[in-house]
Amino acid sequence: MPDAGKQRRLTFVALIFGFVSIGAYCVLISRGRTLWSDELFSWVLVTDPSFAHMMRAWKGGADGGGIAFYLLCRGWLSLFGQSHLAYRAFSASCCFAAWALMLAALRRYYRAGIAFLALVVVWFGSSIILWQMVQTRFYGLLFAATAAALYVTLLGRKDRPFQSWAHWGLIVGTFLLHLLLVNTHPLGLLDSACLLAGAAVADWMAGRRRFSLHLAALMAWPSLWLSREALRNSAAVGRPWFWTTRPHIREWLDLWDPITFQSQGVLRLTHVMVALGGVLVIALVARPSVRSAARPRLDLLLPATALGLTPLPVFLLSQHGTSIFVDRYLIASLLGVTVWFAEAFTQTLSVATPSRHQRLVLGIGTSALLAFCLVKLGFYPRYLRQPSHDFTILLSQRVGDTALPLAIPRVDLCDVMVAEAQQPHPRVLCPLDWPFALSPLAARGEVSGYHEMENWRTFGYYSGSLIEADEFLRNTPHFLVLDSPTTPWLKFRIFPSTQWTAIHLRDLRVGSDDEQLWEVARKDGR
Protein backbone atom coordinates (compact mmCIF):
# COMPACT_ATOMS: atom_id res chain seq x y z
CA MET A 1 0.00 0.00 0.00
CA PRO A 2 1.34 3.43 -0.86
CA ASP A 3 2.17 5.61 2.13
CA ALA A 4 -0.99 7.59 2.94
CA GLY A 5 0.91 10.69 4.01
CA LYS A 6 2.96 10.70 0.82
CA GLN A 7 -0.20 10.32 -1.27
CA ARG A 8 -1.85 13.27 0.51
CA ARG A 9 1.22 15.45 0.00
CA LEU A 10 1.41 14.59 -3.70
CA THR A 11 -2.32 15.30 -4.07
CA PHE A 12 -1.78 18.71 -2.49
CA VAL A 13 1.15 19.36 -4.84
CA ALA A 14 -1.07 18.44 -7.81
CA LEU A 15 -3.74 20.86 -6.61
CA ILE A 16 -1.27 23.73 -6.18
CA PHE A 17 0.39 22.93 -9.50
CA GLY A 18 -2.97 23.18 -11.28
CA PHE A 19 -3.82 26.49 -9.62
CA VAL A 20 -0.45 28.13 -10.30
CA SER A 21 0.08 26.81 -13.82
CA ILE A 22 -3.45 27.56 -15.08
CA GLY A 23 -3.40 31.01 -13.50
CA ALA A 24 0.05 31.84 -14.87
CA TYR A 25 -0.87 30.57 -18.32
CA CYS A 26 -3.99 32.76 -18.38
CA VAL A 27 -2.10 35.88 -17.26
CA LEU A 28 0.91 35.43 -19.56
CA ILE A 29 -1.00 34.57 -22.72
CA SER A 30 -3.86 37.04 -22.17
CA ARG A 31 -1.54 39.99 -21.60
CA GLY A 32 -1.82 42.50 -24.44
CA ARG A 33 -4.41 40.51 -26.37
CA THR A 34 -7.67 42.07 -27.48
CA LEU A 35 -10.84 40.02 -27.30
CA TRP A 36 -11.58 37.99 -30.38
CA SER A 37 -14.87 37.87 -32.21
CA ASP A 38 -16.61 35.09 -30.24
CA GLU A 39 -15.48 36.51 -26.91
CA LEU A 40 -17.11 39.82 -27.82
CA PHE A 41 -20.53 38.21 -28.21
CA SER A 42 -20.45 37.26 -24.54
CA TRP A 43 -18.64 40.43 -23.45
CA VAL A 44 -21.29 42.82 -24.74
CA LEU A 45 -23.96 40.95 -22.78
CA VAL A 46 -22.18 40.47 -19.45
CA THR A 47 -21.01 44.11 -19.42
CA ASP A 48 -24.39 45.54 -20.41
CA PRO A 49 -25.20 48.31 -17.89
CA SER A 50 -28.81 47.10 -17.72
CA PHE A 51 -29.52 43.61 -16.44
CA ALA A 52 -33.03 43.70 -17.96
CA HIS A 53 -31.62 44.71 -21.34
CA MET A 54 -29.06 41.90 -21.14
CA MET A 55 -31.89 39.42 -20.58
CA ARG A 56 -33.84 40.78 -23.56
CA ALA A 57 -30.74 40.59 -25.77
CA TRP A 58 -30.01 37.03 -24.63
CA LYS A 59 -33.56 35.96 -25.41
CA GLY A 60 -33.30 37.69 -28.78
CA GLY A 61 -30.30 35.63 -29.85
CA ALA A 62 -27.48 38.16 -29.30
CA ASP A 63 -25.35 35.19 -28.16
CA GLY A 64 -25.82 31.44 -28.00
CA GLY A 65 -24.97 30.42 -24.43
CA GLY A 66 -27.12 29.33 -21.52
CA ILE A 67 -28.38 31.81 -18.95
CA ALA A 68 -26.25 30.30 -16.16
CA PHE A 69 -23.08 31.49 -17.89
CA TYR A 70 -24.24 35.09 -18.23
CA LEU A 71 -25.47 35.29 -14.65
CA LEU A 72 -22.29 33.84 -13.15
CA CYS A 73 -19.89 35.73 -15.41
CA ARG A 74 -21.74 38.99 -14.77
CA GLY A 75 -21.47 38.39 -11.04
CA TRP A 76 -17.77 37.56 -11.41
CA LEU A 77 -17.09 40.85 -13.23
CA SER A 78 -19.03 42.80 -10.60
CA LEU A 79 -16.55 41.44 -8.03
CA PHE A 80 -13.29 41.68 -10.00
CA GLY A 81 -13.94 44.52 -12.41
CA GLN A 82 -14.71 44.71 -16.12
CA SER A 83 -11.22 44.12 -17.49
CA HIS A 84 -10.18 41.68 -20.18
CA LEU A 85 -7.98 39.81 -17.72
CA ALA A 86 -10.77 39.47 -15.16
CA TYR A 87 -13.09 38.30 -17.94
CA ARG A 88 -10.66 35.61 -19.08
CA ALA A 89 -9.84 34.67 -15.50
CA PHE A 90 -13.43 33.47 -15.17
CA SER A 91 -12.86 30.76 -17.75
CA ALA A 92 -9.40 29.93 -16.36
CA SER A 93 -10.98 29.53 -12.91
CA CYS A 94 -13.51 27.12 -14.39
CA CYS A 95 -10.66 25.08 -15.90
CA PHE A 96 -8.99 24.96 -12.49
CA ALA A 97 -12.27 23.97 -10.82
CA ALA A 98 -12.55 21.09 -13.30
CA TRP A 99 -8.92 20.15 -12.51
CA ALA A 100 -9.61 20.11 -8.75
CA LEU A 101 -12.84 18.14 -9.11
CA MET A 102 -11.26 15.56 -11.39
CA LEU A 103 -8.30 15.26 -9.04
CA ALA A 104 -10.73 14.54 -6.20
CA ALA A 105 -12.62 12.02 -8.36
CA LEU A 106 -9.49 10.23 -9.54
CA ARG A 107 -8.00 10.07 -6.07
CA ARG A 108 -10.93 7.97 -4.87
CA TYR A 109 -9.72 5.14 -7.10
CA TYR A 110 -6.17 5.88 -8.29
CA ARG A 111 -2.84 6.77 -6.76
CA ALA A 112 -1.91 10.44 -6.59
CA GLY A 113 0.90 10.11 -9.14
CA ILE A 114 -1.40 8.41 -11.65
CA ALA A 115 -4.08 11.09 -11.20
CA PHE A 116 -1.52 13.88 -11.48
CA LEU A 117 0.01 12.46 -14.67
CA ALA A 118 -3.38 11.94 -16.36
CA LEU A 119 -4.46 15.50 -15.55
CA VAL A 120 -1.22 17.04 -16.82
CA VAL A 121 -1.33 15.09 -20.09
CA VAL A 122 -4.92 16.05 -20.88
CA TRP A 123 -5.11 19.62 -19.47
CA PHE A 124 -1.78 20.78 -20.90
CA GLY A 125 -1.78 18.63 -24.01
CA SER A 126 -5.27 19.51 -25.24
CA SER A 127 -5.64 22.52 -27.50
CA ILE A 128 -9.30 22.67 -26.56
CA ILE A 129 -8.61 23.09 -22.84
CA LEU A 130 -5.60 25.39 -23.36
CA TRP A 131 -7.78 27.68 -25.46
CA GLN A 132 -10.42 27.90 -22.74
CA MET A 133 -7.76 28.92 -20.20
CA VAL A 134 -7.09 32.13 -22.12
CA GLN A 135 -10.44 33.09 -23.64
CA THR A 136 -13.88 33.30 -22.11
CA ARG A 137 -16.91 31.64 -23.55
CA PHE A 138 -19.37 29.27 -21.91
CA TYR A 139 -17.28 26.16 -22.58
CA GLY A 140 -15.05 26.58 -19.53
CA LEU A 141 -18.11 26.67 -17.29
CA LEU A 142 -19.58 23.69 -19.15
CA PHE A 143 -16.31 21.83 -18.46
CA ALA A 144 -16.40 22.62 -14.73
CA ALA A 145 -20.12 21.91 -14.35
CA THR A 146 -19.73 18.49 -16.00
CA ALA A 147 -16.76 17.66 -13.77
CA ALA A 148 -18.84 18.57 -10.71
CA ALA A 149 -21.77 16.47 -11.91
CA LEU A 150 -19.39 13.55 -12.55
CA TYR A 151 -17.94 13.84 -9.07
CA VAL A 152 -21.34 13.89 -7.39
CA THR A 153 -22.25 10.58 -9.10
CA LEU A 154 -19.52 8.96 -6.98
CA LEU A 155 -21.23 9.99 -3.74
CA GLY A 156 -24.18 8.37 -2.00
CA ARG A 157 -23.73 4.64 -2.31
CA LYS A 158 -27.29 3.82 -1.22
CA ASP A 159 -30.70 5.38 -1.78
CA ARG A 160 -31.78 6.42 1.73
CA PRO A 161 -33.47 9.79 1.20
CA PHE A 162 -35.34 9.84 4.50
CA GLN A 163 -32.59 8.68 6.84
CA SER A 164 -30.08 11.54 6.81
CA TRP A 165 -29.79 15.21 6.07
CA ALA A 166 -26.58 14.43 4.20
CA HIS A 167 -28.49 12.44 1.62
CA TRP A 168 -31.04 15.22 1.24
CA GLY A 169 -28.12 17.57 0.67
CA LEU A 170 -26.79 15.20 -1.99
CA ILE A 171 -30.17 15.16 -3.72
CA VAL A 172 -30.35 18.97 -3.74
CA GLY A 173 -26.72 19.21 -4.85
CA THR A 174 -27.33 16.78 -7.71
CA PHE A 175 -30.32 18.79 -8.87
CA LEU A 176 -28.44 22.12 -8.72
CA LEU A 177 -25.39 20.80 -10.54
CA HIS A 178 -27.44 19.33 -13.38
CA LEU A 179 -29.48 22.54 -13.44
CA LEU A 180 -26.22 24.44 -13.93
CA LEU A 181 -25.06 21.95 -16.55
CA VAL A 182 -28.12 22.07 -18.80
CA ASN A 183 -28.40 25.87 -18.50
CA THR A 184 -24.78 26.58 -19.43
CA HIS A 185 -24.90 25.25 -23.00
CA PRO A 186 -27.53 23.28 -24.94
CA LEU A 187 -25.17 20.30 -25.21
CA GLY A 188 -25.05 20.23 -21.42
CA LEU A 189 -28.27 18.23 -21.72
CA LEU A 190 -26.37 15.53 -23.61
CA ASP A 191 -23.59 15.52 -21.00
CA SER A 192 -26.18 15.21 -18.24
CA ALA A 193 -27.92 12.33 -20.02
CA CYS A 194 -24.66 10.44 -20.61
CA LEU A 195 -23.61 10.85 -16.98
CA LEU A 196 -26.97 9.50 -15.84
CA ALA A 197 -26.74 6.55 -18.22
CA GLY A 198 -23.24 5.66 -17.06
CA ALA A 199 -24.16 6.02 -13.39
CA ALA A 200 -27.27 3.89 -13.87
CA VAL A 201 -25.23 1.09 -15.46
CA ALA A 202 -22.68 1.29 -12.63
CA ASP A 203 -25.49 1.09 -10.07
CA TRP A 204 -27.01 -1.91 -11.84
CA MET A 205 -23.68 -3.74 -11.90
CA ALA A 206 -23.10 -2.98 -8.20
CA GLY A 207 -26.65 -3.94 -7.22
CA ARG A 208 -27.42 -0.40 -5.98
CA ARG A 209 -30.58 1.63 -6.20
CA ARG A 210 -30.22 5.41 -6.28
CA PHE A 211 -33.49 6.40 -7.89
CA SER A 212 -33.81 9.59 -5.87
CA LEU A 213 -30.44 10.91 -7.10
CA HIS A 214 -31.15 10.07 -10.73
CA LEU A 215 -34.61 11.60 -10.44
CA ALA A 216 -33.08 14.78 -8.98
CA ALA A 217 -30.85 15.09 -12.07
CA LEU A 218 -33.77 14.46 -14.42
CA MET A 219 -35.83 17.15 -12.71
CA ALA A 220 -33.30 19.76 -13.90
CA TRP A 221 -34.01 19.08 -17.56
CA PRO A 222 -37.44 20.80 -17.82
CA SER A 223 -35.74 24.09 -16.86
CA LEU A 224 -34.61 24.34 -20.50
CA TRP A 225 -38.23 25.19 -21.34
CA LEU A 226 -37.62 28.62 -19.81
CA SER A 227 -34.82 29.17 -22.36
CA ARG A 228 -36.87 28.13 -25.39
CA GLU A 229 -37.04 31.65 -26.87
CA ALA A 230 -33.27 32.15 -26.59
CA LEU A 231 -32.61 28.69 -28.04
CA ARG A 232 -34.96 29.31 -30.96
CA ASN A 233 -33.43 32.69 -31.82
CA SER A 234 -29.89 31.39 -31.43
CA ALA A 235 -30.65 28.52 -33.81
CA ALA A 236 -31.96 31.05 -36.35
CA VAL A 237 -28.43 32.47 -36.64
CA GLY A 238 -27.47 29.33 -38.59
CA ARG A 239 -30.05 29.77 -41.36
CA PRO A 240 -29.81 28.95 -44.21
CA TRP A 241 -26.48 27.48 -43.09
CA PHE A 242 -24.15 27.56 -40.11
CA TRP A 243 -20.38 28.09 -40.29
CA THR A 244 -19.65 24.40 -39.69
CA THR A 245 -19.41 21.61 -42.26
CA ARG A 246 -20.08 17.88 -42.10
CA PRO A 247 -17.44 16.32 -39.85
CA HIS A 248 -14.91 13.70 -40.90
CA ILE A 249 -13.87 10.78 -38.72
CA ARG A 250 -10.41 12.39 -38.43
CA GLU A 251 -11.95 15.30 -36.52
CA TRP A 252 -13.32 12.83 -33.99
CA LEU A 253 -9.91 11.27 -33.52
CA ASP A 254 -8.36 14.70 -33.08
CA LEU A 255 -10.98 15.56 -30.48
CA TRP A 256 -10.01 12.48 -28.47
CA ASP A 257 -6.32 13.18 -28.95
CA PRO A 258 -5.11 15.51 -26.19
CA ILE A 259 -1.73 16.00 -27.85
CA THR A 260 -2.30 17.06 -31.44
CA PHE A 261 -0.15 19.03 -33.82
CA GLN A 262 -2.94 19.04 -36.40
CA SER A 263 -1.16 16.80 -38.87
CA GLN A 264 -3.65 15.18 -41.17
CA GLY A 265 -4.51 11.50 -41.04
CA VAL A 266 -1.66 10.39 -38.76
CA LEU A 267 -2.31 7.75 -36.13
CA ARG A 268 -0.64 9.38 -33.12
CA LEU A 269 0.69 7.89 -29.94
CA THR A 270 -2.17 9.27 -27.92
CA HIS A 271 -4.75 7.72 -30.25
CA VAL A 272 -3.24 4.40 -29.24
CA MET A 273 -3.30 5.41 -25.57
CA VAL A 274 -6.95 6.41 -25.75
CA ALA A 275 -7.82 3.17 -27.57
CA LEU A 276 -5.94 1.25 -24.88
CA GLY A 277 -7.97 2.97 -22.19
CA GLY A 278 -11.20 2.07 -23.98
CA VAL A 279 -10.13 -1.56 -24.37
CA LEU A 280 -9.27 -1.71 -20.68
CA VAL A 281 -12.71 -0.42 -19.75
CA ILE A 282 -14.32 -3.09 -21.95
CA ALA A 283 -12.10 -5.72 -20.35
CA LEU A 284 -13.16 -4.62 -16.87
CA VAL A 285 -16.79 -4.94 -17.84
CA ALA A 286 -16.52 -8.16 -19.81
CA ARG A 287 -14.11 -10.33 -17.82
CA PRO A 288 -15.48 -11.49 -14.45
CA SER A 289 -12.05 -11.96 -12.84
CA VAL A 290 -10.81 -8.51 -13.86
CA ARG A 291 -14.17 -6.90 -13.05
CA SER A 292 -14.16 -8.40 -9.58
CA ALA A 293 -10.69 -7.03 -8.79
CA ALA A 294 -11.43 -3.59 -10.19
CA ARG A 295 -15.17 -3.31 -9.45
CA PRO A 296 -14.92 -0.12 -7.35
CA ARG A 297 -13.34 1.79 -10.26
CA LEU A 298 -16.36 1.05 -12.44
CA ASP A 299 -18.28 3.69 -10.47
CA LEU A 300 -16.00 6.25 -12.13
CA LEU A 301 -15.05 4.43 -15.33
CA LEU A 302 -18.59 3.89 -16.60
CA PRO A 303 -19.92 7.48 -16.24
CA ALA A 304 -16.59 8.77 -17.56
CA THR A 305 -16.75 6.42 -20.54
CA ALA A 306 -20.28 7.61 -21.27
CA LEU A 307 -18.92 11.18 -21.28
CA GLY A 308 -16.01 10.15 -23.49
CA LEU A 309 -18.50 8.77 -26.00
CA THR A 310 -20.66 11.92 -26.21
CA PRO A 311 -19.08 12.85 -29.56
CA LEU A 312 -20.65 9.72 -31.12
CA PRO A 313 -24.30 10.86 -31.25
CA VAL A 314 -23.22 14.41 -32.14
CA PHE A 315 -21.04 13.06 -34.95
CA LEU A 316 -23.88 10.96 -36.35
CA LEU A 317 -26.46 13.76 -36.12
CA SER A 318 -24.03 16.17 -37.78
CA GLN A 319 -23.82 14.00 -40.89
CA HIS A 320 -27.24 15.38 -41.85
CA GLY A 321 -28.37 18.98 -41.54
CA THR A 322 -26.51 21.55 -39.45
CA SER A 323 -23.30 20.22 -37.95
CA ILE A 324 -22.72 20.91 -34.26
CA PHE A 325 -19.61 18.74 -34.14
CA VAL A 326 -17.23 21.43 -32.88
CA ASP A 327 -14.33 20.57 -30.59
CA ARG A 328 -15.10 23.17 -27.91
CA TYR A 329 -18.78 22.15 -27.83
CA LEU A 330 -17.60 18.67 -26.80
CA ILE A 331 -14.97 19.71 -24.26
CA ALA A 332 -16.65 17.66 -21.51
CA SER A 333 -15.75 14.44 -23.34
CA LEU A 334 -12.12 15.08 -22.35
CA LEU A 335 -13.09 14.31 -18.76
CA GLY A 336 -13.72 10.77 -19.94
CA VAL A 337 -10.40 10.74 -21.78
CA THR A 338 -8.69 11.78 -18.53
CA VAL A 339 -10.11 8.76 -16.74
CA TRP A 340 -9.12 6.50 -19.63
CA PHE A 341 -5.55 7.76 -19.34
CA ALA A 342 -5.60 7.17 -15.58
CA GLU A 343 -6.79 3.60 -16.11
CA ALA A 344 -4.23 2.99 -18.85
CA PHE A 345 -1.46 4.37 -16.62
CA THR A 346 -2.65 2.17 -13.75
CA GLN A 347 -2.50 -0.94 -15.90
CA THR A 348 0.92 -0.10 -17.36
CA LEU A 349 2.70 1.74 -14.53
CA SER A 350 1.40 -0.10 -11.49
CA VAL A 351 3.98 -2.87 -11.34
CA ALA A 352 4.45 -4.22 -7.82
CA THR A 353 8.14 -5.08 -8.17
CA PRO A 354 9.34 -3.67 -11.50
CA SER A 355 12.62 -4.88 -12.89
CA ARG A 356 15.33 -2.49 -13.98
CA HIS A 357 14.28 -2.92 -17.60
CA GLN A 358 10.62 -2.27 -16.75
CA ARG A 359 11.51 0.85 -14.77
CA LEU A 360 13.53 2.14 -17.73
CA VAL A 361 10.69 1.54 -20.20
CA LEU A 362 8.09 3.09 -17.88
CA GLY A 363 10.32 6.08 -17.22
CA ILE A 364 10.93 6.69 -20.91
CA GLY A 365 7.22 6.40 -21.72
CA THR A 366 6.17 8.76 -18.95
CA SER A 367 8.87 11.26 -19.86
CA ALA A 368 7.83 11.16 -23.52
CA LEU A 369 4.24 12.04 -22.66
CA LEU A 370 5.32 14.94 -20.46
CA ALA A 371 7.75 16.09 -23.17
CA PHE A 372 4.87 16.18 -25.66
CA CYS A 373 2.99 18.50 -23.31
CA LEU A 374 5.99 20.81 -22.90
CA VAL A 375 6.52 20.99 -26.66
CA LYS A 376 2.83 21.74 -27.12
CA LEU A 377 3.01 24.57 -24.58
CA GLY A 378 6.01 25.94 -26.45
CA PHE A 379 4.38 26.03 -29.90
CA TYR A 380 0.68 26.54 -29.33
CA PRO A 381 0.86 29.87 -27.43
CA ARG A 382 2.57 31.54 -30.39
CA TYR A 383 -0.80 31.71 -32.08
CA LEU A 384 -2.60 32.71 -28.92
CA ARG A 385 -0.28 35.63 -28.24
CA GLN A 386 -1.23 37.36 -31.48
CA PRO A 387 -3.82 40.14 -30.98
CA SER A 388 -7.13 39.17 -32.53
CA HIS A 389 -7.76 41.09 -35.74
CA ASP A 390 -6.78 44.50 -34.28
CA PHE A 391 -5.54 46.61 -37.19
CA THR A 392 -5.98 49.94 -35.39
CA ILE A 393 -2.28 50.70 -34.85
CA LEU A 394 -1.32 49.72 -38.40
CA LEU A 395 -4.14 51.82 -39.85
CA SER A 396 -3.16 54.86 -37.80
CA GLN A 397 0.44 54.49 -39.00
CA ARG A 398 -0.34 53.86 -42.66
CA VAL A 399 -3.45 55.95 -43.24
CA GLY A 400 -3.01 58.89 -40.89
CA ASP A 401 -5.71 61.33 -39.88
CA THR A 402 -8.02 61.03 -42.84
CA ALA A 403 -11.67 61.98 -42.67
CA LEU A 404 -12.73 59.15 -44.92
CA PRO A 405 -14.96 56.49 -43.35
CA LEU A 406 -13.47 53.01 -43.13
CA ALA A 407 -15.68 50.08 -44.20
CA ILE A 408 -14.83 46.59 -42.92
CA PRO A 409 -17.14 44.04 -44.60
CA ARG A 410 -15.64 41.00 -42.86
CA VAL A 411 -17.81 40.53 -39.77
CA ASP A 412 -15.33 38.79 -37.46
CA LEU A 413 -12.82 41.58 -38.15
CA CYS A 414 -15.26 44.45 -38.00
CA ASP A 415 -16.75 43.62 -34.60
CA VAL A 416 -13.27 43.53 -33.04
CA MET A 417 -12.30 46.82 -34.67
CA VAL A 418 -15.55 48.48 -33.62
CA ALA A 419 -15.71 47.18 -30.07
CA GLU A 420 -12.19 46.37 -28.97
CA ALA A 421 -9.65 48.34 -31.00
CA GLN A 422 -7.61 50.86 -29.04
CA GLN A 423 -9.50 54.18 -29.16
CA PRO A 424 -12.05 53.00 -31.75
CA HIS A 425 -12.78 55.67 -34.33
CA PRO A 426 -16.42 56.47 -35.16
CA ARG A 427 -15.48 56.29 -38.86
CA VAL A 428 -15.22 52.48 -38.65
CA LEU A 429 -18.36 51.01 -40.19
CA CYS A 430 -19.52 47.47 -40.82
CA PRO A 431 -21.65 47.24 -43.98
CA LEU A 432 -24.05 44.34 -43.44
CA ASP A 433 -24.42 42.72 -46.83
CA TRP A 434 -26.82 39.77 -47.01
CA PRO A 435 -26.38 39.09 -50.76
CA PHE A 436 -22.60 38.96 -50.25
CA ALA A 437 -22.97 36.60 -47.26
CA LEU A 438 -24.88 34.20 -49.51
CA SER A 439 -22.41 34.49 -52.40
CA PRO A 440 -19.64 31.96 -53.16
CA LEU A 441 -17.05 34.68 -52.54
CA ALA A 442 -17.92 35.00 -48.85
CA ALA A 443 -16.62 32.80 -46.07
CA ARG A 444 -19.12 30.24 -44.84
CA GLY A 445 -19.35 32.00 -41.48
CA GLU A 446 -20.55 35.28 -42.99
CA VAL A 447 -24.18 34.10 -42.87
CA SER A 448 -24.21 33.57 -39.13
CA GLY A 449 -22.02 36.68 -38.71
CA TYR A 450 -24.61 38.76 -40.56
CA HIS A 451 -27.41 37.49 -38.31
CA GLU A 452 -25.33 38.12 -35.19
CA MET A 453 -24.56 41.70 -36.20
CA GLU A 454 -28.23 42.25 -37.02
CA ASN A 455 -29.05 41.11 -33.50
CA TRP A 456 -26.44 43.50 -32.12
CA ARG A 457 -28.02 46.35 -34.06
CA THR A 458 -31.50 45.36 -32.92
CA PHE A 459 -30.48 45.60 -29.27
CA GLY A 460 -28.34 48.71 -29.65
CA TYR A 461 -24.86 47.20 -29.33
CA TYR A 462 -22.55 49.43 -31.43
CA SER A 463 -25.51 50.09 -33.69
CA GLY A 464 -23.94 53.37 -34.88
CA SER A 465 -21.25 51.37 -36.67
CA LEU A 466 -23.56 48.74 -38.18
CA ILE A 467 -25.27 49.75 -41.42
CA GLU A 468 -26.90 47.97 -44.35
CA ALA A 469 -24.53 47.78 -47.31
CA ASP A 470 -27.02 49.27 -49.79
CA GLU A 471 -27.64 52.24 -47.54
CA PHE A 472 -23.92 52.71 -46.98
CA LEU A 473 -23.10 52.71 -50.71
CA ARG A 474 -26.01 54.98 -51.49
CA ASN A 475 -24.96 57.64 -48.98
CA THR A 476 -21.15 57.35 -49.04
CA PRO A 477 -19.44 58.46 -52.28
CA HIS A 478 -15.86 58.20 -51.00
CA PHE A 479 -14.46 55.76 -48.43
CA LEU A 480 -11.72 53.32 -47.48
CA VAL A 481 -12.19 49.55 -47.39
CA LEU A 482 -10.23 46.98 -45.39
CA ASP A 483 -10.93 43.95 -47.52
CA SER A 484 -9.86 40.32 -47.36
CA PRO A 485 -8.09 38.90 -50.44
CA THR A 486 -9.57 35.45 -49.76
CA THR A 487 -13.17 36.67 -49.36
CA PRO A 488 -13.19 39.89 -51.41
CA TRP A 489 -16.22 42.10 -50.83
CA LEU A 490 -14.92 44.57 -53.44
CA LYS A 491 -14.96 41.86 -56.09
CA PHE A 492 -18.62 41.25 -55.33
CA ARG A 493 -19.83 44.83 -54.80
CA ILE A 494 -17.47 47.34 -56.43
CA PHE A 495 -15.48 45.82 -59.28
CA PRO A 496 -18.50 44.65 -61.33
CA SER A 497 -20.03 48.15 -61.19
CA THR A 498 -19.19 50.95 -63.60
CA GLN A 499 -20.12 53.56 -60.97
CA TRP A 500 -17.04 53.09 -58.78
CA THR A 501 -13.27 53.33 -58.96
CA ALA A 502 -11.00 51.49 -56.52
CA ILE A 503 -7.31 52.06 -55.80
CA HIS A 504 -5.22 49.54 -53.88
CA LEU A 505 -3.25 51.46 -51.23
CA ARG A 506 -1.31 48.78 -49.36
CA ASP A 507 -1.35 45.32 -47.79
CA LEU A 508 -1.66 45.00 -44.02
CA ARG A 509 -0.85 42.01 -41.84
CA VAL A 510 -1.59 41.30 -38.16
CA GLY A 511 -0.67 37.84 -36.93
CA SER A 512 -2.14 35.37 -39.40
CA ASP A 513 -4.51 37.92 -40.94
CA ASP A 514 -3.67 39.43 -44.35
CA GLU A 515 -5.90 42.31 -45.38
CA GLN A 516 -5.82 44.89 -48.16
CA LEU A 517 -6.55 48.59 -47.81
CA TRP A 518 -8.40 50.19 -50.71
CA GLU A 519 -9.70 53.66 -51.51
CA VAL A 520 -13.08 53.64 -53.26
CA ALA A 521 -14.86 56.60 -54.86
CA ARG A 522 -17.95 57.09 -56.97
CA LYS A 523 -17.00 58.25 -60.46
CA ASP A 524 -19.51 61.08 -60.52
CA GLY A 525 -18.33 62.24 -57.08
CA ARG A 526 -21.88 62.38 -55.73
Along the 526 residues of the chain, how does pLDDT read in single tens digits?
A: 457 888 899 999 999 999 999 999 999 888 777 788 888 899 999 999 999 999 999 999 999 899 999 999 999 999 999 999 999 999 999 999 999 999 999 999 999 988 998 999 889 888 889 889 998 999 999 999 999 999 999 987 655 555 677 778 899 999 999 999 999 999 999 999 999 999 999 999 888 888 889 999 999 999 999 999 999 999 999 899 998 988 887 777 666 555 444 433 333 444 455 555 555 555 555 555 555 555 678 889 999 999 999 988 999 999 988 899 988 999 999 999 899 888 878 877 665 555 666 666 666 766 766 676 666 666 655 555 555 556 666 665 566 556 788 899 988 888 877 776 544 455 788 999 999 999 999 989 999 999 999 999 999 888 888 999 999 999 999 999 989 888 899 999 999 988 999 999 888 876 667 788 899 999 886 6
Query: Which residue from 268, 340, 329 is spatially nearest to 300, judged by alpha carbons?
Result: 340
How many Cβ atoms are within 10 Å of 444's Cβ, its own excluded?
A: 14
**Are residues 73 and 309 in contact, defined by beta-carbon separation less than 8 angstroms?**
no
- Specify the pLDDT at position 94: 98
Q: Are 414 and 408 in contact (CB under 8 A)?
A: yes
Q: What are phi and psi of 206, to 5 degrees?
A: -90, 0
Query: Which one, of 210, 11, 179, 207, lies nearest residue 105 by Cα?
Result: 11
Task: Report the relative pairing of strands 466-468 and 500-510 from DSSP bridges.
Answer: unpaired
Q: Where are the domains of the chain?
A: 4-384, 389-522
Report the SS3 class of residue 82: coil
Burial class (CB in 10 A: 0-12, 13-18, 19+), 397: exposed
pLDDT at 340: 87
8-state DSSP, 487: S
Which pLDDT value is given to residue 412?
Answer: 82
Residues in the chain, total: 526
Question: Cα separation of 104 and 100, whole Å?
Answer: 6
Residue 265 confidence (pLDDT): 34
Model pLDDT, residue 73: 97
Q: What DSSP state is assigned to residue 508?
A: E
The CA-based diameter of the chain, rounded to the nearest angstrom, is 89
Residues 128, 143 contacting (CB under 8 angstroms): no
